A and B are shown apart, each in its own frame.
Chain A
Amino acid sequence: MIEVRNISIKYDHISVLEDVTFELKGGSIIALLGANGAGKTTLIRAVNGTLPIASGEIFIEGKTLASMSRREIARRVAVVAQENETRFPVTVLEFVLAGRFVHGGAFGWETDSDIDACRRALDECDLSAFETRLMNHLSGGERQRVVLARALATGARILLLDEPTANLDLAHQAMMFRLVRERCDRDRFCSIVITHDLNLAAEFADEIILLKQGRIGAKGRPAEVLNAENIREIFGVKVLLDQNPASRKVRVTTVY
């Protein structure tokens, strides 16, 4: 559903991404790993059309990103970003309804089906009791779940998640990945997830991309990419690798 072909991105003539190429098919999750400043967020922001690309091309469902309008992109791509707080007393339901903007009718009034979609998403994110609560009264983790619910409510089939588990407790980290995995397996969604949790990446991703200073350092199935050499090179730490006895996936343990 997404094809990224040789893209490069520059901020004020300083190159932050160089010659990045990959493809993301329906039903699969790519975990995007890398040190701080490696260009992970920049890559997600390019795929959603926020940042202009200096060279290369991005295709979404076969169409070039450059030829699509804001609404067309928003219909297909939903973002879960690090949330910035609003100073206005917006309720949780109003916040999630923002995700339905592109479905708005003539005067932008939401329909019953919009409210329905929002309620379902809130329910999935364990937030059904939060509807009328104010956003600025929630904890960081609760807000993050609302942001996820908003992305799920859009109905967009490409989910770009920027550190979605940063503030979440263990149960909700698992919930969040299960929700994304389920949508990919059942409804052929696809997703790019930025995370620093190598074990969650190994557990839920089909493919891992390691970014190193704006370039792809390694790419492939978790078991191939997550080896001691790659991790030392990208993150500069020593790790022990073995197998998670429950899931038989790679398990990474940092040696301090």
Chain B
Amino acid sequence: MRSNRSLGTCIRTNSESDRRIVEEGISIKKVTARSSSKAFRIGAILIALLALTLIVASFLGSERLPLFDLNAQQQSIFYDIRLPRILLGGCVGASLAIAGAGLQSLLRNPLAEPYLLGVSNGAALGTMLAFVFFDRFEFSRPVMAFAGAGIASVAVYQMAKSRTGMNVERLVLSGVIVTTFLSSILVFLTTLLDMAKVRSFTFWLLGDLSQATRGGFYLSFAAVVVTTAILTWQARALNLMMIGEQDAFDFGVEVNRVRLLVFGAASLVVGAAVAASGSVGYVGLIVPHLVRMTVGTDNRLVVPFSAIAGAIFVVLADTIARTAIAPRELPVGAVTALIGAPMFIYLLRRG
């Protein structure tokens, strides 16, 4: 009798705890399923938007093209000029956006951005040096741009770092100093160019996609693919770095290795983007911020979504640059800065 009762209790407790476990299991699955289906939905929307943007951008421009039945001249405009330009614009946007997302997490600073940190200017100086001194070698420009971006990012990092860590103001100020220093060297170098080239160079420095070539696109596209892969692979480590460098170290992140990988990957994309199109600013600031507002701070989503959103953003900005004062053009960097600078102030004030 007694043993029977205790057996009964035993069974009841077991089934209760089983049920609780089952219920908990369901609720966990539900939460993860809900958040990942939301991520898929946003991803699908972004890809659809990118496709739409590419199509619209193809037909707008100083020469408006018809949807069908292009004549020979129109075909040439489309395939040789407009399409490479749009595709390159997409790659440049993706490049700068993922570089921004990676650098922000690494440096724990939502204001970090390749242009503001002087990384873009480092790449620009590399490109310019290659142009002035090694013009015969086709690949010297992206290679030197990569080196320049890498050196500039390490310089800014070393300047901003102090014993007490790295605060926001210090990082931004270091970026400003590196940027102005590199700008003065760039200005000095332009005096070595003949007058005809100076204007196109000034345009390029502000960020300009009008010189787009297929080669530039292929290179930039490869850099985007490699860097997106590296940053997504390191995304969970970056999530920990975002919380704090000491925290990341404590919980098993090899901080130095992650820092090297992210600086290297960011320099790679920024180098390729700048060599092709100059320094387009603020993309790396605006795009990751908007993406975080939609999907949260997890870099496993922020990095790939920033790539797509960055592509959309720059293709749109370039479409404005091409059409706003047609038949003349604005540098695309002027359009992005017009949107980005107020955004920077907003983010800075919000702290």
Residue of B nearest to A132 (CB): B31
Given A71-B252, A109-B300, also A101-B28 (CB < 8 A):
no
Are A86 and B244 in touch, CB under 8 angstroms? yes
Instruction: Give the distance in Å from the alpha carbon of A235 to the alpha carbon of B350 in the complex.
Output: 43
Bound CA–CA A88/B106 (angstroms): 12
Contact flags B236-256 to A (C-beta < 8 A → 1, else 0): 110110111011111111100
Is A86 within 8 A of B29, CB to CB? no
Assuming the contacts A70-B253, A79-B250, A108-B235, asked whether A86 and B242 have C-beta atoms less than 8 A apart, the reply is: yes
Q: Is there contact, CB below 8 Å, between B29 and A50?
A: no
Q: A70-B249, A87-B110, A101-B252 are in contact. Are A95 and B243 (CB under 8 A)?
A: yes
Q: Which of B109, B243, B300 contacts A90 (CB 8 A)?
A: B243
Q: Is the CB of B252 within 8 A of A89?
A: no
CB–CB B251/A108 < 8 A = no
B240: chain A residues at CB < 8 Å are: 98, 101
> From residue B178, how far is it (CB to closest CB) to chain A in Å?
22
Query: CB within 8 A of A104: which of B105, B236, B297?
Result: B236
CA gap between A69 and B257 in the complex, in Å: 13
Interface flag for A195 (CB, 8 Å): no
Partner of A89, one of B168, B236, B253, B297: B297
Binary per-residue interface labels of chain A (59-87) against chain B in the complex, 1 for a CB within 8 Å, 0 otherwise: 00000000001110111001101011011
Query: Which one, A89, A101, A115, contacts B251 given CB within 8 A?
Result: A101
B40 in the interface (beta carbon within 8 A): no
The CA of A81 and the CA of B252, in the complex, are separated in Å by 15
CA distance A89 to B109 in the complex (A): 12
Is there contact, CB below 8 Å, between A89 and B296? yes
Chain A residues within an 8 Å CB radius of B141: none
Q: Looking at B32, B248, B251, B254, which has the most chain A CB atoms within 10 Å of its CB?
A: B251
B259 contacts the other chain (CB 8 A): no
Q: Shortest beta-carbon distance, A134 to chain B, in Å?
A: 10
Cβ of A94 < 8 Å from any Cβ of B? yes
Is A233 at the interface (CB under 8 A from chain B)? no
Structural contact, A112 and B252, CB atoms closer than 8 A: no
User: Which chain B positions have C-beta within 8 A of A81?
Assistant: 246-247, 250
The answer to the question of A256 belonging to the interface, with a C-beta cut-off of 8 Å to chain B, is no
CA distance A13 to B251 in the complex (A): 29
Instruction: Kindly list chain B residues whose C-beta atoms are within 8 Å of the C-beta of A99.
Output: 251
Question: How far apart are the CA atoms of A109 and B165 in the complex, in Å?
Answer: 29
A128 CA / B29 CA spacing, docked (Å): 17
Identify which of A70, A102, A109 gathers the most chain B CB atoms within 10 Å of its CB: A70
In the complex, which residue of chain A has the Cβ closest to the Cβ of B105? A88
User: B82 near A: Cβ within 8 Å?
Assistant: no
Decide: A74 and B251 in contact? CB cutoff 8 A.
yes
Instruction: Identify which of residues 94-142 in chain A touch chain B, using a CB-to-CB cut-off of 8 Å.
Output: 94-95, 98-99, 101-102, 104, 107-109, 112, 115-116, 119
CA distance A150 to B235 in the complex (A): 19
A39 CA to B250 CA in the complex, in Å?
A: 19
B168 adjacent to A87 (CB under 8 Å): yes
- Kindly state whether residue A91 has any CB partner on chain B within 8 Å: yes
Q: Once the chains are docked, how many angstroms separate the CA of A154 from the CA of B251?
A: 8
Task: Using CB atoms, name the residue of chain A closest to B236.
Answer: A108
**B322 within 8 Å of A by Cβ?**
no
* Chief secondary structure at chain B's binding surface: helix
Among A73, A86, A89, A98, chain B packs the most CB atoms within 10 A around the CB of A98
Q: Are B251 and A102 in contact (CB under 8 A)?
A: yes
Minimum C-beta distance from B285 to chain A (A): 14
The chain B residue sitting closest to A87, CB to CB, is B110
Q: Are A112 and B108 in contact (CB under 8 A)?
A: no
* Residues of B252-269 whose CB lies within 8 A of A: 252-254
Smallest CB–CB gap between A204 and chain B, Å? 23
Judging by beta carbons under 8 Å apart, are B300 and A75 in contact?
no
Partner of A101, one of B32, B233, B253, B351: B253
CA distance A83 to B168 in the complex (A): 18
Within the complex, the shortest CB–CB distance from B81 to chain A, in Å, comes to 40
B292 and A48: CB pair below 8 A? no
Contact of A88 among B168, B235, B242 (CB under 8 A): B242
Q: Which residues of B contact A73 (CB under 8 A)?
A: 252
- Count chain A CB atoms within 10 A of each CB in B25, B168, B237, B239 and give the residue with the most: B239
In the bound complex, how far is the Cα of B248 from the Cα of A84, in angstroms? Answer: 12
Cβ contacts under 8 Å, B32 to chain A? 112, 115
Q: Given A90-B242, A90-B243, A91-B296, answer yes or no on A102-B252 (Cβ-Cβ < 8 Å).
A: yes
Task: State how many angstroms separate the Cβ of A76 from the closest Cβ of chain B.
Answer: 10
Give Cα A48–Cα B250 distance, bound, in whole angstroms: 7
CB-based contact A86/B108 at 8 Å: yes
The proximity string for B residues 218-248 relative to A, scoring 1 for CB distances below 8 Å and 0 otherwise, is: 0000000000000001011101101110111
Contacts A/B (CB < 8 Å), 29 sampled: A50-B249, A70-B249, A70-B254, A71-B254, A74-B250, A78-B251, A81-B247, A81-B250, A83-B244, A84-B244, A87-B108, A88-B105, A88-B108, A88-B292, A88-B297, A90-B243, A90-B297, A98-B243, A98-B251, A101-B236, A101-B240, A102-B251, A102-B252, A108-B233, A112-B25, A112-B29, A115-B31, A116-B24, A150-B251
Closest A-B pairs by Cβ, 8 of them: A74-B252, A108-B236, A102-B252, A79-B250, A71-B252, A101-B251, A88-B297, A98-B240
For the complex with contacts A95-B243, A101-B253, 10 further pairs of A-B residues with Cβ separation under 8 Å are A70-B252, A75-B252, A79-B250, A83-B244, A84-B247, A90-B243, A90-B297, A102-B252, A104-B236, A112-B29
